[in-house]
């Protein structure tokens, strides 16, 4: 079956840019990361809940990777991952304020696009490494017994170190959002909630990369169910930890 094609809507100033599945993913991943951090700090009694947040994050990131290939226009990786020249040029424009009612980019800009990929990579590293680690007492990831002790120890170190890096990346992400809001007069928060951006005349007249007409909801549901099934299989088919 051929993939659905997005259609531009040049006559509309208030355009749907971020589809519903992408917005739900964004909110759910934020909650899972907060939940992982809270349960990691809460102590031993919350270990099983911590695992559940980890499985949730793994499923969400897997969904986003597929959605980056099959989702709507501005969700697809090839539409926002650019070369180094574009990234350097975007750095130079960070101090430039956008005009009232204008936006820098319809979807992700060069910096935002690569920042999102870095966050995904860090979150995926966190979720995958957690599958192999152990506290050497009662709890272990489902695939701890599938690797050597030395590799499990290394992945445990990676799991804890990477989480600090992930927290720093999230903090930088929030700083960037605040800078765009206060320094560039561009609100990036509201579009991720409503899905809509006000596309100014300078971009609308170009007739490129405008809004989308469909949320691809049913495609999102299908991919979500598929990913859920894969995560459940991954966990339930894992070997039992040796010390159990």
DSSP 77-129: GGGT---HHHHHHHHHTTTPPPPTT--S-SS--HHHHHHHHHHHHHHHHHHHH
Q: What is the pTM of this model?
A: 0.87
CATH architecture label of 14-236: Up-down Bundle (1.20)
Largest CA distance in the chain: 65
Q: What is the mean pLDDT of residues 153-177?
A: 95
Q: Which residues contact 147 (CB under 8 A, 6 or more apart)?
A: 132, 155
What are the boundaries of each domain within the chain?
A: 14-236
**54-105 residue pLDDT tens:** 999 999 999 999 999 999 999 999 999 999 999 999 888 888 777 665 677 8
Distance CA 177, CA 183 (A): 10
136 torsion bin: left (phi>0), alpha (psi -120 to 50), beta (else): left
């Amino acid at each position: 079956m051929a993939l659905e094609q997005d259609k531009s809507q040049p006559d509309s100033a208030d355009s749907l840019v971020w589809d519903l599945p992408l917005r739900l993913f964004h909110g759910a991943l934020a909650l899972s990361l907060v939940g992982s951090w809270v349960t990691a700090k809460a102590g031993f009694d919350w270990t099983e809940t911590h695992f559940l947040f980890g499985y949730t994050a793994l499923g969400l990131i897997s969904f986003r990777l597929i959605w980056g290939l099959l989702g709507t226009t501005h969700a697809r990786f090839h539409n926002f991952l650019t070369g180094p020249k574009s990234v350097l040029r975007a750095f130079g424009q960070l101090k430039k304020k956008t005009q009232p009612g204008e936006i820098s980019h319809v979807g992700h800009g060069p910096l935002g696009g690569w920042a999102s990929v870095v966050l995904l990579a860090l979150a995926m590293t966190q979720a995958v490494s957690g599958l192999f680690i152990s506290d050497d007492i009662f709890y272990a990831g489902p695939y701890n017994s599938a690797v050597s002790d030395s590799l499990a120890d290394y992945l445990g170190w990676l799991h804890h170190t990477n989480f600090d890096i992930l927290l720093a990346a999230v903090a930088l992400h929030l700083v960037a959002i605040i800078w765009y809001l206060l320094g560039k007069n561009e609100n990036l928060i509201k579009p991720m909630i409503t899905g809509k951006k006000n596309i100014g005349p300078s971009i609308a007249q170009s007739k490129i990369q405008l809004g989308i007409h469909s949320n691809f909801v049913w495609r999102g549901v299908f991919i979500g169910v598929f990913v859920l099934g894969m995560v459940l299989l991954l966990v339930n088919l894992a070997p039992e930890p040796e010390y159990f």
